[in-house]
Each structure stands twice: as C-alpha cells, then as structure tokens.
Amino acid sequence: MIEIHQVTRRFPQQRRPVLDEVDLKLERGSFAFLTGASGAGKSTLLRLLYGADSPDEGHITIAGHNLKPQDARALAMVRRRVAVIFQDFRLLKTRTALENVRVVLELRGVDRRLAHRRAMEALDDVGIGSLAKRRVPQLSGGEQQRVAIARALVGDPQVLLCDEPTGNLDEALSLQVLGLIDLASSRGATVLVATHDSEILRRFPHPTYHLEAGKLERRSG
C-alpha cells in the first residue's frame, strides 16, 4: 500500500513547491499511472516514496511503514519491500545482465541455484535471456532497460515504482513490459508508473493521476 498525506516538497531555486499538499492512497494490488509535463515533479514524488528524498511537510506510509529517511531501520525495511525501475537504470556496469538481476535475490539469502534460475526466468520474461552473460556496456539502451525491469520484478516486490519504464522501448515491447508490470499488480504488488506514453495509457485503463503546478489530481479510472 502507498499512502501520501499532505506532502509538500520545495527546492530553494524554485518559487513554488514542486509538490504542494499532495494526497494519494493506493491499496495493495492496485495499479495507477502518474502523468505530468517534464519537470512537474513525477520523479521527485517517486524519490520520496523510495526514501531517497524527504518531504518538507506531510508524511508517507509505504508497505506498512511510516517512511522517515532519518530512521535507517525503517528505511531498510521499506527498501526490502519496494522495487524501483529508474530512468537511468542504475545497473552494475562491471557485471553481466544475469548478475545484475541475481544479486537482488542473493542479498535476500536465496539459494544460489534458485537465484540463478529465477534470474534467468526474469530475463526470459523481458526477452533477453540470450544476453544473460553480456556485461552492461555491451548492451544497448533498450536492453539495459529490460535488465532493470527484470531486476525490479524478480523479487516479487510489495510496491513497484516505475519512472518511464518504456522510454527506450518500441511499442510492441512496451506493451509486453507493461503486461509484466500489470501481472505484478495482479499478484498483489502496489504499482505506480510515471509515464508520457499515451499508447500505454490507452491500452491499460488504470487510474491516472496528473501532476501540474505542484498539485495532484485524478484524471481517469
């Protein structure tokens, strides 16, 4: 579950808050899109939900925990339950595609053989199982994005945050990837996807929340 109550975030160089008394509640297993122009605050909101930033006012509850970045223990608990697909992928560049996905499971103490099998399945799901042994610099931008998506999905997260997850993918692959993210929601994950992709919004009729001038409003669904 994601619950945001009266969250405000300001930056010194800007006259108005990026986020201004934002409220949002998404129940377990729900799926919502987050839209808005570039610079509207979509990535800022996702950073707050992941604990990479903190609000100036208001509070956030995610996966059952009141998110306070200064509380290291609570933050660690949240990050075990939350997966993020970043715009810049944040892959381990000296590792292979397989190792980037498998490490999520290994850090949780999953048996190495099982972790290997599940990581391969996740790469197969996004269509790059054949590239498992390639290191990150040998992969195209779209291939790296698919590794990042596989990494996010392999751990069956309680909350999945996606920042433009289809930005480097063609239409057919975008729909395939959103189908996998949708499946994560059907299995109980709470999903929030920031996107500009109008075709995805049309094909997947989930609730859409729009950010503009610091305010968040529900547009559809």
For the chain, the domain total comes to 1
pLDDT tens by residue, 94-137? 999 999 999 999 999 999 999 999 999 999 999 999 999 999 99
Domain range holding 209?
Answer: 2-220
Give CA separation, 155 vs 13, 90, 96, 160, 220, in Å. 38, 17, 18, 10, 30
Instruction: Give whichever of 6-10, 104-108, 164-168, 172-176 has the largest mean pLDDT.
Output: 6-10
CATH number of domain containing 66: 3.40.50.300
Which residues does residue 105 pair with via DSSP β-bridges, in sequence order?
A: none
- Taking the model in full, what pTM does it have? 0.89
Token pair of 199, please? 């075709």
* Nearest Cα to Cα of residue 192 among 167, 161, 219, 214: 161
In sequence order, what DSSP letters do the residues of 11-47 get, joined into one string? Answer: -TT-SS-SEEEEEEEE-TT-EEEEE--TTSSHHHHHH
199/105: higher pLDDT: 105
